[in-house]
Amino acid sequence: MANVSKLLHTTTDPETFLENLTLDTSDVEKLREARLYVRAFLKEWFAARSRQGLGFVIEPRFFTQGSVSYKTINYPIYVPKQQMDMDDGCYLPLNFVRGAQPSDAATLFFAFIDEALRHLAKEKGWRFVEKPTCCRLVIADDAHVDIPLYAIPDREFQTLEKAAHASADMVTKRMAAGDTALKWEDLPADSVLLAHREKDWIASDPRKIRKWFVDAVEVHGEILRRVCRYLKGWRDYNHPTLDGVSSIILMACAFEVFEEMGRRDMPTREDLALLTVVERLPKLLEGPVLNPADRSEKLDAKLDSE
């Protein structure tokens, strides 16, 4: 077949499919600036409210996750229905809701953060939206910031807090460089709980997905990341037909093909690599699509989006 790889990606031509999917500098700045505002506001909010209610100050920890962390974020095709998404997890110690029943704790977390972010939204002219697993701030027609809430045991949080303070300068430098991996590993691997508005708590550790994908790209190369972005762009273009196919499902399917073919047999040509994945995609989407980071979980059973 004709070689159309240069239509997908090249380092010399700015008019490629990948380049059209890529955020420009102003988009990246908009998301990062919003993240800084959210973090600073929540830290101040926590400092004042926790001292008043608990007698001591709690400073939340934050970790960027999702497509920004995987470096698979694309510019949306249908704005404002589709938007750039910055996922910035907020980690809190369980003693913040000391005395509450477990079934009430998630509600208290959300009530506290909801109130704070409603104030911030009003101050910045943003729009606040309640989502089942996060608080959302719509910062522009084409962008939003999601803040999922996580709880970790007090002892581990204190360890994390000390480690964060000890390397504050390094954190600042690497975050400025867009490196969201720093300090990620300081969280306990088996004790991370995600607050849910209806289900109270869900065992969920976003590091596992990130580690899987980082490792997968190390094995198969950047072409795996690019193929995932092509698939996401195709999915977004076919809105709303393919809205139920989450980004992580597409990433998992692409990974399965790369694993099946192996580095020796997987085409190195950009167009042939994409074609190899696309040819196998319908069968893979018939399911089950397993979470590569936890094979006991079926991703297609929940069909959630990033």
Q: Residue 184: which CATH number?
A: 3.30.460
CA 148 to chain centroid: 10
**Domains held by the chain: number:** 2
Pair 154, 228 in one domain:
no
Residues of the chain with pLDDT under 50: 166-185, 303-306
Question: 230 burial class (0-12, 13-18, 19+ CB within 10 angstroms)?
Answer: buried
Could you tell me if residue 1 is inside a domain?
Answer: no
pLDDT at position 71: 96
Whether residue 57 contacts residue 232, with contact meaning beta carbons closer than 8 Å, is answered with no
Could you tell me if residue 5 is inside a domain?
Answer: no
Q: How far is CA 203 from CA 152, 196, 296, in A?
A: 11, 10, 13
Could you tell me if residue 121 is inside a domain?
Answer: yes
pLDDT at position 87: 97
The range of the structural domain enclosing residue 59 comes to 11-204
Pair 283, 215 in one domain:
yes
Cis peptide bond upstream of 60, omega within 30: no
Pair 232, 276 in one domain:
yes
pLDDT at position 245: 94
Among the three residues 173, 204, 235, which one is the final residue of a domain in this structure?
204
pLDDT at position 95: 64
Pair 156, 280 in one domain:
no
Query: 129: part of which helix (H) or strand (E)?
Result: strand 127-131
Pair 52, 101 in one domain:
yes
Pair 209, 199 in one domain:
no
CA atoms within 13 A on the CB side of 169: 0
Angle at 189 between CA 185 and CA 193, to 5 degrees: 115
Pair 164, 243 in one domain:
no
pLDDT at position 148: 97
Q: Can you tell me the distance from the alpha carbon of 15 to that of 262, in angstroms, rounded to the nearest whole number? A: 30
pLDDT at position 185: 47
pLDDT at position 169: 45
Whether residue 251 contacts residue 72, with contact meaning beta carbons closer than 8 Å, is answered with yes
Among the three residues 204, 220, 242, which one is the final residue of a domain in this structure?
204
Among the three residues 139, 169, 204, which one is the final residue of a domain in this structure?
204
Q: Can you tell me the distance from the alpha carbon of 212 to that of 306, in angstroms, rounded to the nearest whole number? A: 16
Please name which of 79, 85, 86, 87 lies closest in space to residue 141, comparing C-alpha atoms.
79
Q: Can you tell me the distance from the alpha carbon of 64 to that of 70, in angstroms, rounded to the nearest whole number? A: 10
Pair 129, 16 in one domain:
yes
Pair 244, 140 in one domain:
no
Could you tell me if residue 108 is inside a domain?
Answer: yes
pLDDT at position 204: 85
Pair 264, 225 in one domain:
yes
Q: What is the pLDDT of residues 48-90, one digit of tens each?
A: 987 776 677 788 989 899 999 999 999 999 999 999 999 999 9
Please name which of 139, 272, 292, 154 lies closest in space to residue 213, comparing C-alpha atoms.
292
